[in-house]
Structure 1
């Protein structure tokens, strides 16, 4: 619903249910929606960063039914952005994408293990912390991304409690 209408109120207006549900107001935003918004924000920031460091990509246009990777470097290399290091293991991303490509790169924000910041998790899938892409940036741009990423990470952690 949020994908198509942006919020519940717009959905009610679109389908002329405002009067019937006039009393309905969400007490607070559901966690899944909060994480979805933070994930989208992180994905946009990753796209901005990839553009800045001159990694060409297209978005969502895989031409493979059911596969919409966040970033397509080429037909054999896809990238996906995840809020946390472990998120990819709780999703179907690897199983869904690997049969169609040679390389999958998962760019993540929150480090949740003691393992390396960049590592292979399957023969085709590499897990890479966002900081690995920021190494070549000028100090002021590095600082900009640090601030943006820190804000997203703090909000993500806040809602974990």
Structure 2
């Protein structure tokens, strides 16, 4: 509900106390959906969602008690889940919290199945054609021949490089690390910046899915003339992912998207909220989702965003040197 009066620390505390008294949810996502003005005032006057709640005696545990997972519970829930799923991707869709717990406590489904004394093939389809060592052999050969190790070049020798790298090492960057190479040594600064931007965009998409946002990803609109990164069809809002806040003013996003939507939101990883006079344009730092991620037990996304930010900052330092 929109409020006409200006907020103050006292008004925020009073509104939170009243909300709690009425038995309403005090999670970040619930307050954002029901009273965006209050949610913004909490950040403005207290710095974070939980610092504001502390003023009325609430803690994170009071507000969003997360399921306590241990290995015994994971094994029990996994055996139950096997009754209605047959693959890791299906389990991750239907049992997100269990999937996160498995990855946190075991690191992999292989380790979980080893602990249960069963073959991982009950949940993980085995790909036997190419193994991780096959990819490493090709990378070593290309390196020894003096060839480039960017993923586009490697694909000419190893067409399934991306799939095998992700399956066996988690990412192509990790595969390169296994042969003593660094990804940014094989990508020029401009291409690497684009690579980081795409990584940020994909991570946002995964985050939106796990948070339950009903957004379309890269949907072509207006007779295939535009394709925003994300589309909130219910509210006719376009969301554009940018590695840096300032790049939106150096690109064609504003001119291309604003005429076709009610609001354009630019979600960025680094930089500040630049003041502007463009109607219906909002800049949103990705950290504004951190409260929701904490509420949902998805804090690994915060770590991933921090990792990308560190890489982007390091790239900027090298470019300036």
Map of 1:73-112 to 2, 5 A cutoff?
Answer: 73-74=232-233, 76-111=236-271
Which structure would you say has the larger Rg?
2
Match status 1:141 vs 2:286? no
- RMSD between aligned alpha carbons? 2.6
Pick the structure with more strand per residue: 1
Q: 1:79 to 1:13 in 2, by over 3 A?
A: same
Instruction: Give unpaired runs (5+ residues) of structure 2.
Output: 1-150, 160-184
Distance 1:145-1:70 versus aligned 2 partners, 3 A rule: same
Distance 1:128 1:30, change over 3 A: same
CA drift at 1:30: 1.6
Give the structure with the higher percent helix.
Answer: 2
Task: Provide the aligned length of Structure 1 versus Structure 2.
Answer: 139
Q: 2:195 aligns with which of 37, 41, 47?
A: 37
Q: What is the distance in 2 between the residues matched to 1:107 and 1:63?
A: 20
Task: Verify the 8 A CA contact 2:290 2:302 in the aligned structure 1.
Answer: no
Large movers: runs of 4+ above 3 Å: 8-14
Alignment TM-score, normalising by the size of structure 1: 0.74
In structure 2, the residue corresponding to 1:66 is in which secondary structure? coil
Name the SS for the 2:212 alignment partner: coil
Distance change >3 Å, CA 121–CA 13, structure 1 → 2: farther
2:171 pairs with 1:51: no
| TM-score normalised by the chain length of structure 2 | 0.39
- State the partner residue of 2:281: 125
